[in-house]
Amino acid sequence: MLPRRALALAVASLAAGPARAQAAWPARPVRLVVPFAPGGTTDVVGRIVAERLAARIGQPVVVENRPGAGATLGAQQVARAEPDGHTLVVSSSTSHGVSPALYPTIGYDALADFTHVAMIARSPSVLLVNPASPVRSLADFAAAARTAGEVRFAVAGIGTSSHLAGVRLAMALGVRTESIPYRGAGPALTDLIAGIVPAMLDSLPSAGPHVRAGALRALAVSGAERAPAFPDLPTLREGGLDVVSYAWFGISGPAGLPPAVTARLATEIRAVLRDAATRARLEELGGAPPDTTPEGYTAFIRDELDSFAPLVRAAGLRPQ
């Protein structure tokens, strides 16, 4: 039999074991997968949060772009990763809302294969044209689309939030759509600025700087209300088009993330989003960060999955 003091030390050691394991996170740099090419909203928002989060947790948060297949390639990679909190993904309305309804086999379940931690931004889309375009207002755009019987616009990928916003817009106008898919908003914006494509709907965080610089002309936003960052831009509803659409972004890890790690991540992300400088930066870009819990973000994604599925079917969307 162990001496009483030795027994007490052994019990204390066992009790301290889980605490030491939990306190070890993060034990090394954290990898944050962005399932889109650099330059788009998912990338912009992800990098803002990654920089601030790294300062709080004392380890680098390394952004890794893994674009392709409607953001499903990067999401797949994280779903299969070790659930230790060192591999995360910027989940979004594309990877965890539209793509599960669009792709017959995506290699993951948007709910069962992930631990959803927090929403980090929610942003309307903005209708954009090249500054050289004769289309100078939403009324001009609507008239031109109805005359042509269609709208042609670049999209950050088939099934992205900007694509679905375009589908909703075309339905409201009563015209056909011709979508020109890219591997992310960054390349699509580059071609729009160059005049290679005629129009695009994109989230404000990635499009806003180009609008302010005069490289793109903004016609309207897809939110229920005007965007605080661009108060002079009308909503689509103000232009007589009953369209309200938002892109959303959050942080998720693989299923089975330890509760202590999930709680710590949620606490740190909440602190990042409450930081005045971070909040101002995101609001300046048009993406207002909400305050959600892991349970709240999971419930939100469940609701979005239910709402996107009928829209994808009604629009007859197919992967490309």
- pLDDT > 70? residue 269: yes
Domain CATH code at residue 162: 3.40.190.10
> Which of 320 and 264 is assigned the larger pLDDT?
264
Domain end among 245, 261, 278: 245
Q: Given a cut of 80, is residue 158 above it in pLDDT?
A: no
More confidently predicted of 263 and 70? 263
Dihedral Cα 278, 284, 287, 293, nearest 10 deg: 30
For position 4, what pLDDT does the model report? 44
* Residue range 181-210: mean pLDDT, rounded: 90
The secondary element (H helix, E strand) that includes residue 269 is: helix 259-274
- Do 226 and 167 share a structural domain? yes
Mean per-residue pLDDT for 25-35?
97
pLDDT band for position 8 (cuts 50, 70, 90): very low
Q: Tell whether the model's pLDDT for residue 6 goes beyond 70.
A: no
Residue at token pair 């939990």: 22
4: in domain: no
The pTM is what? Answer: 0.78
Give the pair of three-digit tokens for residue 100. 């599960």
* Cis peptide bond N-terminal to 228, omega within 30: no
d(CA 81, CA 67): 17
Q: Per residue in 83-126, pLDDT tens?
A: 999 999 999 998 999 889 888 788 999 999 999 999 999 888 99
Same domain? For 135 and 187 the reply is: yes
Together in a domain, 182 and 202: yes
> Do 233 and 274 sit in the same domain of this protein?
no
CA atoms within 13 A on the CB side of 175: 21
Residues 6+ apart with CB under 8 A from 132: 195
Range(s) of the domain holding residue 237: 124-245
Range with top average pLDDT, 90-99, 135-144, 221-230, 281-290: 135-144
Asked if residue 14 belongs to a domain, the reply is: no
Predicted local distance difference test score (pLDDT) of residue 206: 82
CA distance 141 to 239: 11
Q: What is the mean pLDDT of residues 56-60?
A: 97
Q: Quick one: 111 and 251 in the same domain?
A: yes
- The answer to whether residues 61 and 172 belong to one domain is no
Question: Is residue 117 situated within a structural domain?
Answer: yes
Domain CATH for 295: 3.40.190.150
Section 40-65 average pLDDT: 94
Residue 5 belongs to some domain of the structure: no
Number of domains in the chain: 2
Instruction: Tell me the H-state helices in 135-258.
Output: 138-148, 161-173, 185-193, 204-212
Q: Which of 220, 245, 270 is the last residue of a domain?
A: 245
Structural domain includes residue 21: no
Three-class SS state of 53 = helix
Same domain, residue pair 235 and 143? yes
pLDDT for 181 beyond 80: yes
Residue 231 parent element (H or E): none
Same-domain pairing of 204 and 295: no
224 plus 140 within the same structural domain: yes
Angstrom distance (rounded) from CA 309 to CA 317: 10
HSE-up (13 A, CA, CB side) for residue 145? 24
Tokens of 116: 């959803």
Is 20 a member of any domain?
no
Residues 209 and 188 occupy one common structural domain:
yes
Instruction: Evaluate if residue 19 carries a pLDDT over 70.
Output: no
- Among 170, 57, 73, 115, CA closest to 301: 115
pLDDT tens digit sequence for 219-242 = 999 998 999 889 999 999 999 999
Q: Percentage of the chain with pLDDT > 70?
A: 91
Q: Are 258 and 50 in contact (CB under 8 A)?
A: no
The answer to the question of residue 237 being in a domain is yes
Residue 206 and residue 40 in contact, taking contact as beta carbons nearer than 8 Å: yes
Contact present, 264 and 250 (Cβ < 8 Å): no
Whether residues 241 and 267 fall in one domain: no
Residue that the structure tokens 């007859």 belong to: 316
Q: Is 164 within 8 Å of 95 (Cβ atoms)?
A: no
Mark whether 78 and 146 lie in a shared domain: no
Residue 1 tokens read as 């039999």
Q: What percent of the chain has pLDDT over 90?
A: 61
Query: pLDDT category, 129, cuts 50, 70, 90?
Result: very high
Residue 190 placed within a domain: yes
In which band, very low, low, confident or very high, does the pLDDT at 320 lie, cut at 50, 70 and 90? low
DSSP 50: H
Which of these three, 212, 245, 278, is where a domain ends?
Answer: 245
CB 237 within 8 A of CB 244: yes
